[in-house]
């Protein structure tokens, strides 16, 4: 008697679940600009959404705890004179956000820890170097203050935002750039372009090191992201307009590692990658579902896991960094789905019976400390992200002010913080260790209670100002 063999994977039973209505964010006027970006960016402190705005471009920044209805007079981040097209949180400082716009500029903002009380109109640095609208902005994964922008002038510029000056400019693309993704250590990035080519670029050599014509045969926009193994995951369309995904080895672009047809739809598939679980979440604009896949070293290499479906189509999506998920609930990912007038968090969970910390689900993940300075990266150094343990849950660090000057006056890189799981606890007396752990728990509880109190007071203030109290 033959038995079918089921593939072993701890992520086979991941399931998605929408949060309760009161845990979402309502009355948000999501931007209607025709641009294929996610319109949303999220980190362990804040949710940022590009919104409709008269007289220029604006986006909304909310503390994650400020759920419920958003007041129509809630202060926005304004400063761009044209619609905002893309936003991205800095991976090394949860209070720093970059934005780009149709006004041909990119801007970097310092967001205060508390909720905004008045519109924020003064960026800490304005980056001017493009001659047409700027549609892509993305931070370097491991080097401090390195920011990449790409515009409709087909130009890619890499900036040091600590000095506000451009470091590298590349004009290798003959047409509109659809997407850009850094690899894990930031030594390379891959791009997709309207000329139907997938390129791998070395920015410090200012050259294209590999390229492939038409990884997907259709003429509609493609997307590409680097995986942790150095392969490239792509989404695009077939000649018959069917949506398709592919996995490629950039050292051998002749044949794909995997190529899989999905369905027939017009929406561009936006891929969001979890490097720790080696999973990809595909969110199509105009779709009402999120498909997720696991990438492995065994055929067929890209394994379909499941689909999360809801009633309303999505306008955009935000993806929480791994250090912002709830480890106590075995949550491995959290997405923020943008609808016409609201934002709904979606949690992705692995069902487990035990309440203990699940080591196999949470390997050490990229932390908020940069691995090197901008000058070191420019001189040719490469470093993987500095990892932190998820065992104690993630507590956002205090905000650091980003100072901008012609000479970089940022403080020297702080020493690497070691997580509790890597400390040599045997060198501490048991009583002292017990006291330290107890004090840490008490401080965490105090911080949580104060955040809740602040949120309650802000809601009361909002009610008084609106005359609804």
Domains of the chain, residue spans: 31-320+364-379
> What's the token pair of residue 349?
């969970």
Task: List the Cα angle 348/349/351 in 5-degree steps.
Answer: 155
Q: Which residue has the tokens 């044209």?
A: 82
Residues contacting 103, CB < 8 A, separation 6+: 56, 57, 80, 81, 82, 133
Residues contacting 153, CB < 8 A, separation 6+: 130, 131, 132
pLDDT of residue 422: 42
Longest dimension (CA), the chain: 75
pLDDT of residue 452: 74
Secondary structure string (H, E, C) spanning the chain = CCCCCCCCCCCCCCEEEECCHHHCEECCCECCCCCCCCCEEECCCEEEEEECCCCCEEEEEEECCCCEECCCCCCCEEEECCCEEEEEECCCCCCEEEEEECCCEEEEEECCCCCCCCCECCCCEEEECCCCCEEEEEECCCECCEEEEEECCCCEEEEECCCCEEEEEECCCCCCEEEEEECCCCCCEEEEECCCEEEEEECCCCEEEEEEECCCCCCCCCEEEECCCCCEEEEEECCCCEEEEEEEECCECCCCCEEEEEEECCCCEEEEEECCCCEEEEEECCCCEEEEEEECCCCCCEEEEEEEECCCCCCEEEECCHHHCCHHHCEEEEEEEECCCEEEEEEEECCCCCCCCCCCCCCCEECCCCCECHHHHHCCCCCCCCEECCCCCCCCCCCCCCCCCCCCCCCCCCCCCCCHHHCCHHHCCHHHHHHHHHHHHHHHHHHHHHHHHHHHHHHHHHHHHHCCC
Q: Give the torsion sign (CA, 226, 230, 234, 239).
A: positive
- Mean pLDDT per 10-residue section of the chain, whose length is 469 residues: 66 93 94 91 97 90 95 94 96 97 97 91 96 97 98 98 96 97 98 97 97 95 97 97 96 96 92 97 94 94 95 94 94 96 96 87 95 96 96 64 58 42 53 77 78 76 64
Instruction: Give the count of beta carbons closer than 10 Å to the beta carbon of residue 17.
Output: 11
**With contact defined as beta carbons under 8 Å apart, do 313 and 323 qualify?**
no
CA distance 238 to 214: 10
pLDDT of residue 441: 78
pTM, two decimals, is 0.83
**With contact defined as beta carbons under 8 Å apart, do 184 and 384 qualify?**
yes
pLDDT of residue 447: 77
Class of domain 31-320+364-379 as given by CATH: mainly beta
pLDDT of residue 414: 42
């Amino acid at each position: 008697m033959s038995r079918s063999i089921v593939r072993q994977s701890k992520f086979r039973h991941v399931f998605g679940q929408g949060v309760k209505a009161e845990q979402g964010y309502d009355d948000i006027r999501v931007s209607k600009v025709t641009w294929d970006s996610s319109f949303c960016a999220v980190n362990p402190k804040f949710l940022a959404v590009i919104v409709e705005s008269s007289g220029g471009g604006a986006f909304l920044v909310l503390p994650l705890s400020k759920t419920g209805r958003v007041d129509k007079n809630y202060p926005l981040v304004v400063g761009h004179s044209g619609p905002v097209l893309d936003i991205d949180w800095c991976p090394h400082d949860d209070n720093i956000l970059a934005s780009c716009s149709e006004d041909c500029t990119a801007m970097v903002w310092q967001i205060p820890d508390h909720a905004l009380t008045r519109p924020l109109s003064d960026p800490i640095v304005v980056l001017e170097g493009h001659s047409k609208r700027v549609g892509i902005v993305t931070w370097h994964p491991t080097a401090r203050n390195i920011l990449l922008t790409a515009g409709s002038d087909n130009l890619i510029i890499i900036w040091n935002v600590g000095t506000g000056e451009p470091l590298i400019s590349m004009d290798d693309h003959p047409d509109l750039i659809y997407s850009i993704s850094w690899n894990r250590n930031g030594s390379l990035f891959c791009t997709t372009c309207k000329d139907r080519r997938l390129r791998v670029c070395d920015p410090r050599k200012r050259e294209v090191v590999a390229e492939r014509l038409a990884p997907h045969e259709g003429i509609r926009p493609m997307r590409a992201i680097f995986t942790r193994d150095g392969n490239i995951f792509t989404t695009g369309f077939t000649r018959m307009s069917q949506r398709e995904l592919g996995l490629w080895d950039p050292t051998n672009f002749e044949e794909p590692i995997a190529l899989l047809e999905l369905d027939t739809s017009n929406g561009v598939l936006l891929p969001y990658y979890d490097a720790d679980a080696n999973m990809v979440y595909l969110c199509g604009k105009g779709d009402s579902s999120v498909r997720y896949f696991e990438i492995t070293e065994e055929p067929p290499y890209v394994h379909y896991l499941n689909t999360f479906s809801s009633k309303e189509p999505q306008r955009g999506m935000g993806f929480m960094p791994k250090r912002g998920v709830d480890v106590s609930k075995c949550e491995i990912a959290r997405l923020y789905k943008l609808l016409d007038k609201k934002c709904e968090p979606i949690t992705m969970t692995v069902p487990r019976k035990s309440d203990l910390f699940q080591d196999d689900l949470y390997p050490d993940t990229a932390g908020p400390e940069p691995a090197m300075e901008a000058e070191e990266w420019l001189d040719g150094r490469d470093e993987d992200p500095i990892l932190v343990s998820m065992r104690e849950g993630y507590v956002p660090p205090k905000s650091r002010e980003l100072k901008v000057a012609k000479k970089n006056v940022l403080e020297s890189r702080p020493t690497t913080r070691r997580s509790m799981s890597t400390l040599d606890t045997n060198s501490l007396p048991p009583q002292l260790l017990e006291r330290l752990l107890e004090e840490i728990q008490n401080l965490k509880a105090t911080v949580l209670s104060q955040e809740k109190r602040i949120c309650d007071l802000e809601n009361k203030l909002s009610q008084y100002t609106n005359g609804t109290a």
